[in-house]
Structure 1
Amino acid sequence: MLIGVPSEIKDNEARVGLIPSSVHELVHHGHTVLVQSGAGLGAGLTDDDYVAAGAEMVEGPDRIFAEAEMVVKVKEPLAQERKRLRPGQVLFTYLHLAPDPEQTQDLIASRAVCIAYETVTSSSGALPLLTPMSEVAGRLAPQVGAHALEKAQGGRGILLGGVPGVPAASVVIIGGGVSGTHAATIAVGMGARVTVADRSPEALKRLSAQFGNAISTVYSTRAAITELVKEADLVIGAVLIPGAAAPKLVTREMIRTMKKGAVVVDIAIDQGGCFETSHPTTHSDPTYVVDGVVHYCVANMPGAVARTSTFALNNATLPFVLALANHGWREALRRDPHLLQGLNVCDGRITCEPVAAAQDLDFTDPSSMLEG
């Protein structure tokens, strides 16, 4: 198979779809890999590294989109990239379609085979290709939140861990899944007073066993979130419903009750965000203020640590890339029902039920696309 890796063009997105060792594996299996010159530089990977691994370097994205049977990316294709997709071409990347009808319509029109990292499942029901970036985003959230709390950034002027005689900041994490757990790990390590809210008794038991008295756990109800948000210095939204738009768990009214200069960090922004006042921002302009509350809603948080994120992502995606390349997309999806769950758009049809529901579109069972 001919596989293409273009440079990412989203604002300050320095990750890359394949690292040289992944290219080496694909070449070893008899595949050809085209990599756009400079695609890996943001992650510290040179063109020479790719050439040594067996890649063919190309200038610009034209040949990649025109010739590659499968395009491997990190972030969702922007409008100019979506116009380049061809019928039958496989796109393997994060898509986050539920809150993005414009992208959805363009992918439908392309008739490409669009497989989303974030909806591929595992035998345990986990999301193995979303997990590494959820881990990174979770660990970043207290860092960026602590920075935003600094007075010069518009925050309250509070040190997350406090000092002797001065209380630490109150950090509330909504969602006790992968990103929430990793956010709690870093927030506790920074010395904050941490509370995690979740609706799953199992998640609360797991968090309690993992952290003991280092955190407080709260069963998440509207009333509980209302009180927690009001007293918090930093609120981290870490809610996920696989493939679907994130629920708006923190309302505008709740935001109005927060302390002036408090901070919210919305990890769920890729799926539309879990704060009613959230809208996507970029690394170039990461924050804005609503009702005196600083909002950090960068839609590609892990891009800030591009090298760590790129290697973590490739560790997870490589087996699936190999399966798609070795067997072709239809056979690979027939063999692996968990990879089949990643099929979001195929030949002009929506094959991910949460996306169809979010946008009131017709849903086609993904298994029906495997004939032929």
Structure 2
Amino acid sequence: MKIGCPKEIKAQEFRVGLTPNAAREVVVHGHEVLVEAGAGAGSGFADADYLAAGARILATAAEVFAEADLIVKVKEPQAPERAMLREGQVLFTYLHLAPDPEQTEDLLTSGATCIAYETVTDASGGLPLLAPMSEVAGKLAPQVGAWTLQKANGGRGVLMGGVPGVGPAQVMVIGGGVVGTNAARVAAGMGADVTVLDRSLPRLRYLDDVFGGVFRTRYATAGATAELVVQADMVVGAVLIAGAAAPKLVTRAQLKDMKPGAAIVDVAIDQGGCFETSRATTHEDPIYEVDGIMHYCVANMPGAVARSSTIALGNATLPFLLALADKGWRKACDDDPHLLNGLNVYAGHLTNVPVGKALGMDVLSPSMALKQ
């Protein structure tokens, strides 16, 4: 099989879908790897590294898309990339379709088979291909939030850890999953006073058992959210419903009760965001103000630390990529129900139920897609 890796073209996206080490593994398995020239530069990987791994360098993305049987990327394909997809081709990348009807329609029209990293599951009910980037984004959230809080950026001018005689920043983390846990750990490590909200009592028990004394936990209700949001200097949105649009948990009306210059960091922005006032931004222009509250809503936060993110993502995706290449997508998904859960689009059909509900579209079950 020919595996193609184009250069990412989303604004300020420096990650790459395939590391040289991953390319070497794919070649060892008897497949051909096609990499667009310069694809790895943003992550510190030169074309020579890919050549040494046995890959072939092609000059343009168009050549990669034209030759490859399977395209491996990081971010959702942009409009020019979607136009290059073809019937029967396999796309393996993050998609985040629920808040993106335009992308969904283009993928359906292409006839390609699209497997989304963010809906692949594992035996414990986790999301193994989302987890590495969730860890990165969670650890980055307090860092970028602290920057947003600086007065020069429109923030309150509050130091995360305070100083003797001056209290620390009050940080509220909505969601106690992978993103929220990592955000809380880092924020607490910076000296902030942190509270994590979640609706899973088992998860709250776990957080208390493991991190008791490092940060506090609260059961997430509308009342608890309203109470804590007015006290917060920083609110981190870390809510995820796999494949679905993120719920709006803080309304615009609530912003007027927040501290002027408080910072919102919406890590759920890839799925539409969990604040009513959230809209996607880029690393080039990351923050904006609504009703005196500063919003940081960069949709590809891990791209800021591209090398670490690329290596972490490559470690997680490689076993699945090899299965797709060695067996073909049908056999690989038939053998692994967790990989099958990643199937979002097949031959003009939407195949993910939460995405279908979010977009009001009919869905063909993944198991039925395998039989077609």
* TM-score (ref. length: structure 2): 0.99
Residue number in structure 2 paired with 1:6: 6
Q: CA deviation at 1:211?
A: 1.3
* Residue aligned with 1:236, SS: strand
Which runs of 4 or more aligned residues in structure 1 lie more than 6 Å from their structure 2 counterparts after TM superposition? none
Moved more, 251-260 or 267-276: 251-260
* Residue aligned with 2:213, SS: helix
- How far apart, in 2, do the equivalents of 1:280 and 1:48 lie? 35
Residue number in structure 2 paired with 1:260: 260
Residue number in structure 1 paired with 2:358: 358
* 2:187–2:194 Cα contact (<8 Å) kept: yes
Residue number in structure 1 paired with 2:141: 141
Stretches of structure 2 that go unaligned for 5 or more consecutive residues are none
Residue number in structure 1 paired with 2:341: 341
- How far apart, in 1, do the equivalents of 2:256 and 2:109 lie? 42
- Matched ranges for 1:55-204 at <5 A: 55-204=55-204
1:29 and 2:29 correspond: yes
Residue number in structure 1 paired with 2:371: 371
Question: How many pairs were matched up?
Answer: 372
Stretches of structure 1 that go unaligned for 5 or more consecutive residues are none
- How far apart, in 1, do the equivalents of 2:333 and 2:221 lie? 39
Q: CA deviation at 1:100?
A: 0.3
1:321 and 2:317 correspond: no
Q: CA deviation at 1:236?
A: 0.1
Q: CA deviation at 1:18?
A: 0.4
Residue number in structure 2 paired with 1:244: 244
Q: Which amino acid counterpart does residue 196 of structure 2 have in structure 1?
A: V
Q: Which amino acid counterpart does residue 213 of structure 1 have in structure 2?
A: G
Q: Deviations over 1:63-106 (max 9, x none)?
A: 11111000000000001110000001000000000000000000
Residue number in structure 2 paired with 1:47: 47
- How far apart, in 2, do the equivalents of 1:352 and 1:135 lie? 24
Q: Deviations over 1:21-57 (max 9, x none)?
A: 1000000011000000110011000011100000000
* 2:22–2:314 Cα contact (<8 Å) kept: yes
- How far apart, in 1, do the equivalents of 2:238 and 2:29 lie? 39
Q: CA deviation at 1:371?
A: 2.7
- How far apart, in 2, do the equivalents of 1:216 and 1:29 lie? 48
Question: Percent of counterpart pairs with the same letter?
Answer: 64
- How far apart, in 2, do the equivalents of 1:340 and 1:308 lie? 28
Moved more, 252-261 or 25-34: 252-261
- How far apart, in 2, do the equivalents of 1:154 and 1:275 lie? 19
- Matched ranges for 1:302-313 at <5 A: 302-313=302-313
Q: Deviations over 1:146-172 (max 9, x none)?
A: 000000111001111101110000000
Q: Deviations over 1:117-161 (max 9, x none)?
A: 000000111000000000000000000000000001110011111
* Residue aligned with 2:13, SS: coil
Residue number in structure 2 paired with 1:19: 19
Q: CA deviation at 1:218?
A: 0.6
Q: Which amino acid counterpart does residue 116 of structure 1 have in structure 2?
A: A
Residue number in structure 1 paired with 2:213: 213
* Residue aligned with 1:345, SS: strand
- How far apart, in 2, do the equivalents of 1:275 and 1:50 lie? 41
